[in-house]
Structure 1
Amino acid sequence: MKITRIEAIPYAIPYLKPLKFASGAVHVAEHILVRVHGEDGLYGEAEAPPRPFTYGETQAGIKAVIEGIFAPQITGLNVLEREKIQARINRTVGNPCAKGALDIALWDLAGKLLNQQATTLLGGYTDRLRVSHMIGFDDPAKMVDVAQSFVEQYGITTFKVKVGRTPFQLDVAVCRALRAHFGDKVDLYIDGNRGWSASDSARALRAMEDLDLLFAEELNPADDVMGRRWLVKQAKIPFFADESVSRPAEVVRELLDGSATAISIKTARTGFTQSQRVLFLSESLGVENYIGNQIDGQLGTMASLVFGSAYQATSGRAAELSNFLDMSDDLLTEPLQIAGGEMVIRPGAGLGVTVDEDKLSRYRLGR
């Protein structure tokens, strides 16, 4: 089946409350719906969430690069010519979320063409993942209340705690409050979004040594090369690279430089094809992964679930699949569900979800 047309549709859905972290804050989901059309009326879909404070991409920029550069390069190719498609779009540097969404939409279309679930085409290891929830900045008592509500309503027992504020003692207090409230009934890990210096990160980790944290993520900038190596070398828990590994080559760099001991995979920035390469590289080196979240909507969240459930290596840890619950609405005809702390793959070809055209029309920007 040949690719006949590609759309990049901007839309905006407000969050129920701002999500705050060290590198910025998100008030509205200003995302792009990517549609790759094939012959016989079939099309695949994916979600591109711009994060200008992380990758430099904007909503307008993603639309422009997909429609103005990538679409002319790959229209007319067979949807299954994955390597040829990757070679053409990778002539353009950067633009990870634009490339990631385009790739996922192609996998969705391939699944529909072959009448197979995308997760089966990828690997088909399991049909579900445990869910981790990300808690944004607030005072300790409010962050404890948020976690308690997710335990009670959804059965979630793993939480990413956003840290990186100055002074760092406030974030230490949050982690202590969470551990004091839940005891050993929940798992906690921290994400600094590059907000601390290497020295403050080291002090914060020492201050939390008794809290049994699973791991730490991007506490200080990877560009602080010597400081990051110094910090990771002394860390007593795994140190995950996240925004510093937007492509496989950066994974190699971070691991060989001693700037990380484990790697976060986000399908929003590496799609399925490049995420496979990150995963297989990590497996061959004995490096752990987990499935992260780019504050995705439900379409992006399903992509994360589809990829993470496809492989044994990514199904061992809880995946970040719940932040769509912070949005005031979404685009899918059937909203995703979390029960007993898990999310389950949907039946149906491709990603197994359908966009509600009325909702897309309501939230669409421009025409």
Structure 2
Amino acid sequence: MQATIQSIEAILVDIPTIRPHRLSMTTMGLQTMVIVRVTDSDGCQGLGEATTIGGLAYGPESPEGIKLTIDHYITPWLLGQSLDSINTLKVRLDAVIRGNQLARSGVETALLDLQGKRLNQPLSVLLGGAVHSHIPVLWTLASGDTERDIDEARTLLESGWHRDFKLKIGSGALMEDVRHVAAIKKAVGDRASIRVDVNQAWDEATAARGMAELQAAGVDLVEQPTSRRHPAVLVRLAEKFQIPILADESVADGTDLYNLAAAGFGGAVAMKIGKAGGPARALEQAVVARSAGIGLYGGTLLEGTIGTVAALHAWSTLEPLHWGTEMFGPLLMKDDIVDHPLTFHDNGVALPCGPGLGVGIDEGKLSEYRRQSV
């Protein structure tokens, strides 16, 4: 007898961060995750996660909206459906739901986890097979305080946890940001790679001046310096400077990347399972990137362990992964809701090897951090 989808549960979970995490559009002191749990007719369960940054500060989907979408729109279309083909379920959703990529990603991840558990295979096998069992992970220095960020970077370098660092800038005056970045680069020297993320905060003129200064300071990569609405600006900046540009918000899926590459963009792309609508669709960008000579980078929406592991399984299938990943989300949070946290070591993280995602829920922690009302 074929297994069918018996229930889908979307749970809001609020976990404080270890320190304020400052971005150009908001400062986070709390991360809200939407944990998705799919149960089949045999009683097996799959886990997924849909997470964004700062409520509605980052994008059009809020945690509360994601839960509503899953509860009231996605679940009715999937209940009772066979689990034999996840692609068939995705086509079914495509016919009735537009957008809502984060909600889709959480559900797709849970379905893949469930399928992996039923087949007794890791999620990476379902995506073609892992070529990496240890994946490089950078750390974001985002306190906004130069000396504190320098101390944090030095501590992490000495511990062996990270040797690549990204700085969140764009919320302050241009030259203040440049001085902040340059001081940190000088402090760590050649021991670490320094990248910056502007989160769309600059116009073209500001970006041109800023990138000239950052290039002179020895910065290795500049992420999304200008608005996603103006992809031609990214192309012009990429042509003007030797320092590579990482396209993030400008690229959600393979079509976006194709259009950007066709316009002449080089640089690199930040793939994210959330903005693509799931692990499988995120990997479609890698095919386009390889064809266009664009570098690959595994991006994050600061997911907890469940969402992070889903992305890691996807990134583990890619060779090469030119710029590594930033799957440090669980390290930013004061606590976790999984039974076996990830193992971060040697400037990266070990890929879980159990069936599906390879992690499970700690029911006590889930109960502790679960939001009681919406």
Q: Cα offset for 1:358?
A: 0.6
Which residue is 1:340 aligned to?
A: 346
Could you report, residue by residue, the CA deviation over 1:87-137 in whole angstroms, capped at 9, with x for unpaired residues? 232342221211111111111111101100111222221211011111214
Which residue is 1:57 aligned to?
A: 61
State the one-letter code of the partner of 2:66: I
Which residue is 1:189 aligned to?
A: 195
Structure 2 counterpart of 1:207, from 208, 213, 230: 213
Which residue is 2:26 aligned to?
A: 24
Matches of 1:237 and 1:78, distance apart in 2: 49
Change (3 A) 1:126 1:109: same
SS at match of 1:190: strand
State the one-letter code of the partner of 1:188: I
Which residue is 1:266 aligned to?
A: 272
Matches of 1:7 and 1:145, distance apart in 2: 42
Could you report, residue by residue, the CA deviation over 1:239-295 in whole angstroms, capped at 9, with x for unpaired residues? 121122223322223323346632111123322111121112222222211101111
State the one-letter code of the partner of 2:307: G
Is residue 162 from structure 1 mapped to residue 168 from structure 2 by the alignment?
Answer: yes
Q: Cα offset for 1:155?
A: 2.9
Which residue is 2:372 aligned to?
A: 366
Could you report, residue by residue, the CA deviation over 1:283-338 in whole angstroms, capped at 9, with x for unpaired residues? 22222111011111122221222111122133x43211223222111101122221
State the one-letter code of the partner of 1:350: G
Matches of 2:260 and 2:57, distance apart in 1: 20
Matches of 1:231 and 1:184, distance apart in 2: 26
SS at match of 1:318: coil
Change (3 A) 1:283 1:225: closer
Change (3 A) 1:169 1:229: same
Question: Following superposition of structure 1 onto structure 2, how do residues 82-97 of structure 1 map, counting pairs within 5 Å?
Answer: 82-91=86-95, 92-97=97-102
Select between 357-366 and 243-252 the one with higher mean Cα deviation.
Answer: 243-252
Question: Following superposition of structure 1 onto structure 2, how do residues 81-230 of structure 1 map, counting pairs within 5 Å?
Answer: 81-91=85-95, 92-122=97-127, 123-230=129-236
Matches of 1:81 and 1:212, distance apart in 2: 49
Matches of 1:94 and 1:261, distance apart in 2: 27
State the one-letter code of the partner of 2:343: Q
SS at match of 2:313: helix
Change (3 A) 1:260 1:196: farther
Q: Cα offset for 1:61?
A: 0.6
Contact 1:165 1:195 in 2 (8 A): yes
Identity of aligned residues (%): 27
SS at match of 1:13: strand
Structure 2 counterpart of 1:66, from 70, 73, 83: 70
Matches of 1:235 and 1:222, distance apart in 2: 19
Matches of 2:35 and 2:79, distance apart in 1: 18
Contact 1:222 1:259 in 2 (8 A): no
Could you report, residue by residue, the CA deviation over 1:34-84 in whole angstroms, capped at 9, with x for unpaired residues? 111123211110111133222211121101111111112222333342222
Question: Following superposition of structure 1 onto structure 2, how do residues 281-296 of structure 1 map, counting pairs within 5 Å?
Answer: 281-296=288-303
Which residue is 2:306 aligned to?
A: 299
Matches of 1:22 and 1:257, distance apart in 2: 27
Which residue is 1:8 aligned to?
A: 10
Contact 2:270 2:297 in 1 (8 A): yes
Contact 2:37 2:45 in 1 (8 A): yes
Contact 1:54 1:243 in 2 (8 A): no
Runs of 4+ in 1 over 6 A off after TM superposition: none
Matches of 2:333 and 2:47, distance apart in 1: 20
Contact 1:161 1:189 in 2 (8 A): yes
Coordinate RMSD, CA, aligned: 1.8
In structure 1, stretches of 5+ residues that fail to align are none
Matches of 2:318 and 2:266, distance apart in 1: 22
State the one-letter code of the partner of 2:51: P
Matches of 1:226 and 1:306, distance apart in 2: 33
Select between 351-360 and 118-127 the one with higher mean Cα deviation.
Answer: 118-127
State the one-letter code of the partner of 1:278: Q
